[in-house]
Amino acid sequence: MKVFITGGAGFIGCNSADHFLTQGHDVVIYDNLSRIGGQANLEWLYERHGRSRSQFIHGDIRDYDRLLESIGGADVALHLASQVAVTTSVLNPREDFEINALGTFNVLEAVRHRCPEAAVLYASTNKVYGGMQEIAIVEQPTRYAYADHPHGIGERYPLDFTSPYGCSKGAGDQYTQDYARIYGLRTLVFRQSCIYGQRQFGVEDQGWVAHFVIATTQQRPIAIYGDGKQVRDLLHVSDLIRAYELGIAHMDALSGEAFNLGGGPANTLSVWAEFGPLLEKLAQRPLPITYHDWRPGDQRVFIADIRQAAAKLGWQPRISPQEGIGDLYQWVARNPHLFHRS
């Protein structure tokens, strides 16, 4: 099988490439190396697998001709390349649109014209559900919680694209589903929650779990926006990739559908009131932090209802936040040279 991965040198991309290469597949990594850590991730893949079954193409998904030339022969197109931060989308909405909306359109068109039988997996986001201000929230000692959604937010919840990022990713989400209906492409949309794990070079406005871990090991300041009791469901990258693999296996039966992929109610943490003590235990010292105003659109709670993925893909998360964060912390601590400038 030939797997074409846009954003293949990124955090999720390089872990996905590593997985498929380990399984014996050929992988094409298509990336413009604009993200922190991309070159290091690419070199890591070469060290582990050599260059015989992996091909790197320096390309941008906004360059349709380059994409069209590169994607031919793919059996799977795993579309991960993206502008990933809400804050960046507000500062530069045109670039956000061109990468996320137009870039996804380019990928779908390239598949349609060059490899129409390929399985297409699109990494969407839980931000397509918007701020969800109408949902009742209760405040508990260390976290906020849904008053009436014990299983989390399901795929039938109304979409609400409330930021440039939400609009651009949501456009790609809807285009990917529609290309299955209109053109018969074999596509799946995965609306992903907070993904974390090794090879993640998190920064303040994206990848907060890794950002806090890196800041702790590098003794950098940590800023908390809001009161630190906002809750997210966490999903380890290896559990995410298992879902990708199951999606490919079930593509013929499920093409055109969208799935929430997150930790679900069993794998949640509040971003500092609960995560902070866990991180202090790993660091074996207290961690100084500063509190700042809430950021616009920051959800008090997001927890994905993942029962549809369980029922149709046979998938459940396996790695708890405590286990996964411990593993991430040890990897960051063993590799301080990777983070001197990140």
Count CB neighbours of 147 within 10 A: 11
Active site residue 157: no
CA end-to-end span of the chain, whole Å?
A: 35
> Residue 30: which of 110, 126, 85 has the closest Cα?
110
Mapping DSSP onto H, E and C, the string for 25-65 reads: CEEEEEECCCCCCHHHHHHHHHHHHCCCCEEEEECCCCCHH
Q: Are 18 and 46 in contact (CB under 8 A)?
A: no
Distance separating alpha carbons of residues 5 and 80, to the nearest angstrom: 7
Joined tokens for residue 171:
């456009």
What is the helix (H) or strand (E) element at residue 189, kind and residue range? strand 186-192
Task: Pick the catalytic residue from 30, 122, 144, 165.
Answer: 165
Joined tokens for residue 82:
């993206």
Strand partners, 189: 122, 258
With tokens 């400038």, the residue in question is 341
Distance separating alpha carbons of residues 78 and 307, to the nearest angstrom: 23
Active site residues: 165
